Amino acid sequence: MSKVWVFEELVNDEQDLQGLMAYALYKHKKHTLAVSLRANGTSEDAIAERLSNFHDDQVASNQIEDYRNRSSAILDNLFVEIEEDVKDRVVKLYEREAEKQKREHAKALKASEDRLVRNIIRYKADKRSFWMKTWLWLASGVPTALSAVVVSILFYIALFFFVPEDLKKEVYTNAYQEITGAVLGGESVKK
């Protein structure tokens, strides 16, 4: 009877992962037996004979199929772990990308809202009448000093039409004194 090689019984070709894993399990069991025998002080000749018997026992018994089943289970578990790991990584990557897009969307939305508000304000400002713009400018409080001067001038021009001729000189003199006193920061200048 010719010798049966365990490798040939377990492995179909170099792409047969299940067979290669089954052969590795066989070799591991054989190695464990040899280490155990050496630890017990068995001679090398006795170890070689025992390993030859181990080989024959494995081929003759149903162990070859057991190695295939165990390697199949190991590979199935390995593939499940890889699949779960890849799935976890993809989920995390997806969540990071979704969060990034959410932030970018919120930022773009805020910018669009700001642009819209600015355009609405500009549109409203463009649609106001000249008198409304003038009134808002005068009432805004920003050009307070200039507004006060314009209002004062308008007031004195109106007075010019309503004040008799003999009082005009006195009104203009008092106005001049009030304005120069306000501009100079002191009290009114009396002449």
| Segment of 73-87, 112-126, 155-169 carrying the highest mean pLDDT | 73-87
Q: What is the pLDDT of residue 128?
A: 73
Whether pLDDT at 1 is above 60? no
Is the pTM for the entire model greater than 0.85? no
Q: What is the pLDDT of residue 86?
A: 94
Q: Which residue from 187, 182, 189, 176 is spatially nearest to 145, judged by alpha carbons?
A: 182
- Mean pLDDT of the region 63-88: 91
Give the count of beta carbons closer than 10 Å to the beta carbon of residue 25: 18
Q: What is the pLDDT of residue 101?
A: 94
pLDDT digits (tens, 9 = 90+) for 25-35: 989 998 998 99
Q: What is the pLDDT of residue 182?
A: 59
Q: Report how far residue 60's alpha carbon sits from residue 47's, in angstroms, rounded to the nearest whole number.
A: 20
- Under 8 Å CB-to-CB from 54, ≥6 apart: which residues? 30, 33
Q: What is the pLDDT of residue 77?
A: 92
pLDDT digits (tens, 9 = 90+) for 154-191: 877 777 777 777 777 777 777 777 777 755 655 544 54
Q: What is the pLDDT of residue 89?
A: 93
pLDDT digits (tens, 9 = 90+) for 6-19: 888 888 888 888 88
Whether pLDDT at 80 is above 90? yes
- Residue linked to tokens 């001679």: 43
- Mean pLDDT of the region 116-121: 84
Delimit the domains of the chain by residue range.
6-85, 130-184
Q: What is the pLDDT of residue 189?
A: 46
The answer to whether 47 touches 38, Cβ cutoff 8 Å, is yes
Tokens (6 digits) for 144: 């307070």
Query: Higher model confidence: residue 165 or residue 118?
Result: 118
